[in-house]
Amino acid sequence: MLQLFPPDRFFDRCPVWLPSDHRFPQAIYQVIRTLQADFGIIFERDPAARHWLEVLCCYPGFHALMMHRIAHWLHRWAIPFLPRLISHLSRFLTGIEIHPGAVIGQGVFIDHGMGVVIGETAIVGDYTLIYQGVTLGGTGKETGKRHPTVGMHVVIGAGAKILGNIQIGDRARIGAGSIVLRDVPCNCTAVGVPGRNICQEPPSDCPLDHAKLPDAEVTVIRTMLNRIERLEHVLQTLQSARSYDDVPIP
């Protein structure tokens, strides 16, 4: 078995990946720290990650992020064609489409990743968790900032669509299959179609604990049933008081 380094300590045991500021330019140092965060977060978020070589070779989300960071650097230098070509090749190889103009923070984890689309002006904060089928898209042909801004430590469930120039606050959660068209405050959860914000209870500290997401539709239906029961009780009381028991209710 391959056990060159413990899976979650690979970068800590490899001095090449942890240079000091006086040995390397700050830009290179930042790139290496970003790659370290992208690599290490996989072991924290995915219980199936067991060995560093497996993650390095078999995780398309990690590959897509590495290729995107190269394409984004070329895009910032206004180099034509090549950034889009890298993005297209990344889409072909990983099933994840990230426009070179998108800004993605460090420690972002795209789990599985097939069908993920991130638009040109989207911003994704540090340590965000994105599942398969997620779209960070626009709502039309408007120019300028037209894609979402996602805060830090956000969890976006499988198949969720976040559309338009909206803000997703830090530590927010987007339920699987939700369509979010308006801002989501910090520490809140958006569920449903269209997405409804629920902020009564703070989300769990475990980002993988999706079973405790609130169900907005169940809450609305339960409220309606309780109100109907109260109205029926009031109606029966009035009928008893006025001796209208023999009058059928239409």
Q: Which uninterrupted H or E stretch holds 179?
A: strand 179-180
**227 Cβ contact list (under 8 Å, min separation 6):** none
Backbone angles phi, psi at 31, to 5 degrees: -60, -45
User: Cβ(99)–Cβ(118) under 8 Å?
Assistant: yes
Mean pLDDT of the chain: 82
Q: What is the pLDDT of residues 133-156, one digit of tens each?
A: 999 998 877 788 999 999 999 999
Q: What is the pLDDT of residue 237?
A: 83
Whether the per-residue pLDDT at 19 is higher than 50: the answer is no
What is the pTM for the complete model shown? Answer: 0.76
pLDDT, mean of residues 201-224: 65
Cis previous bond, 194, omega within 30? yes
Two structure tokens written together for 201: 């209870």
Q: How confident is the model at residue 213 (pLDDT cuts 50, 70, 90)?
A: low
Six-digit token string for 109: 């984890």
Alpha carbons 37 and 41: distance in angstroms, whole number: 6
DSSP strand pairing (109-110 vs 117-118):
unpaired
* In the predicted structure, residue 14 carries a pLDDT above the cut 60: no
Q: 241 falls in which pLDDT band (50, 70, 90)? A: confident
Q: What is the pLDDT of residue 2?
A: 39
DSSP β-bridge partners for residue 163: 137
49 vs 91 pLDDT, higher one = 91
Distance of CA 186 to the CA centre of its chain: 14
For residues 174 and 184, the answer to whether their CB atoms sit within 8 Å is yes
Question: In this predicted model, which residue has the larger pLDDT, 25 or 247?
Answer: 25
Tens-place pLDDT, residues 30-43: 778 888 888 989 98
Burial class of residue 27 in the structure, from the number of CB atoms within 10 Å of its CB (0-12 exposed, 13-18 middle, 19+ buried): exposed
CATH classification of 103-214, choosing from 2.160.10.10, 3.10.129.10, 3.40.50.150, 1.10.630.10? 2.160.10.10
Q: What is the C-alpha separation between 93 and 65, in angstroms, rounded? A: 12
User: What residue spans of the chain are helical by DSSP H?
Assistant: 10-13, 26-45, 52-58, 60-76, 82-94, 216-241
**Cis amide leading into 207 (omega within 30):** no
pLDDT at residue 3 tops 50: no
